[in-house]
Amino acid sequence: MIQLIGILNVTRDSFSDGGRFLDPEAALEHARQLAADGADIIDVGAESTHPDAEDVPAEVEIERLTPVIERLKADDVQVSVDTHKPAVMRQVLALGADLINDVTALCDPEAVAAVRDSDARLIIMHSRASGARAERRVATPPSRRTWPLEKRPCHPPETIVDKILAFFERRVAELTAAGIARERLILDPGMGFFLSPLPEDSLAVLRELERIAALGLPVCVSTSRKSFIGSVLGGEGTPRPVSQRGAGTLATELWAARHGVAYIRTHDVRALRDALTMLTAIERGATPAPRVGD
């Protein structure tokens, strides 16, 4: 059963909804709506990871997160926290966080120490960025950048998926050697600017998700409203605005759902839950209950 992770940004400057849920009451209202829409887990983040985001000190992250986590846990909601800071990890785990979602894959030894003795599941993300923030840098040959999108090669000579597989094999071995149980780990291949500014890199990862799932650990995918969707739908010179990427997002999420992922992290939980419900009904041949008067 695929688990849906609803995104809750308690930030000033997230690329899709920065500032909307900075107030704790607004954040709680949105979180409860996400849960009502079918989210199994609420992923709360207090620092954006987009390329132009502000730096948020650990104490400010904790201040933003604490009232939201406390109230959600009181409502018996599963909570994931999106952070790379060890001090934040320790605090939210003490508050009862069920998952830690780290875009740096616990690269800080202090982060490993912070989570080692907890029972929380751990989402470790592959990224080609140098830190905890996505980058607009181009990490692929310039010749590929000059080709029209529809004519670019789907796979560079050394494929992005090969690199992702090598990264996860190495990182899982390192974390288990450091005392993290393998069964706690969830693999996120990264998407959009975390891979590169070139949309075909994210598309290549989607095409080959089953290779990542074959590593034998749950896979989490978060394509929601990402830059590569805007580029595909609108072209790189005039990308589709974030507010108009809903249908493209849903297409990528349904693809992921049918190619081996265990978790999908999304802004629009209701659309994805409804689409998955319909797909399941079609596959199983389910017949809706008759309406009164039919």
What is the predicted pLDDT for the residue at 50?
54
What is the predicted pLDDT for the residue at 193?
87
Which one of the listed residues 226, 240, 245, 273 is annotated catalytic?
226
- Rounded CA gap, 32 and 77, in Å? 9
What is the predicted pLDDT for the residue at 151?
39
What is the predicted pLDDT for the residue at 13?
52
Catalytic residue check, 226: yes
Catalytic residue check, 32: no
**What is the pTM assigned to this prediction?**
0.86
How are strands ordered across the β-sheet holding 78-82?
A: 185-188, 121-125, 99-102, 78-82, 41-45, 3-9, 263-266, 220-221
- Rounded CA gap, 1 and 14, in Å? 29
Would you say how long the chain is, in residues?
294
Structure-token match 């132009």, residue found: 52
Which one of the listed residues 85, 171, 265, 273 is annotated catalytic?
265
Q: Please report the domains of the chain, with CATH numbers, ordered by start residue.
A: 3-284 (3.20.20.20)
Residue 211 belongs to what H/E stretch?
Answer: helix 209-213
What is the predicted pLDDT for the residue at 197?
85
Express each pLDDT in 181-206 by its tens digit: 999 999 999 999 888 888 999 999 99
Decide: helix, strand or coil at residue 186. Answer: strand
- Rounded CA gap, 98 and 217, in Å? 18
Express each pLDDT in 10-24 by its tens digit: 987 545 555 677 788
Decide: helix, strand or coil at residue 260. Answer: coil
What is the predicted pLDDT for the residue at 153?
41
Residues of the chain with pLDDT under 50: 14, 133-135, 138-155, 157, 292-294
| Nearest alpha carbon to residue 103 among 216, 193, 12 | 193
What is the predicted pLDDT for the residue at 269?
98
* φ, ψ for residue 184, nearest 5 deg: -85, -15
90: DSSP letter:
H
Residues 6+ apart with CB under 8 A from 86: 108, 110, 111, 113, 114
Residues 6+ apart with CB under 8 A from 162: none
What is the predicted pLDDT for the residue at 290?
53
Note whether 193 and 136 are within 8 A (CB). yes
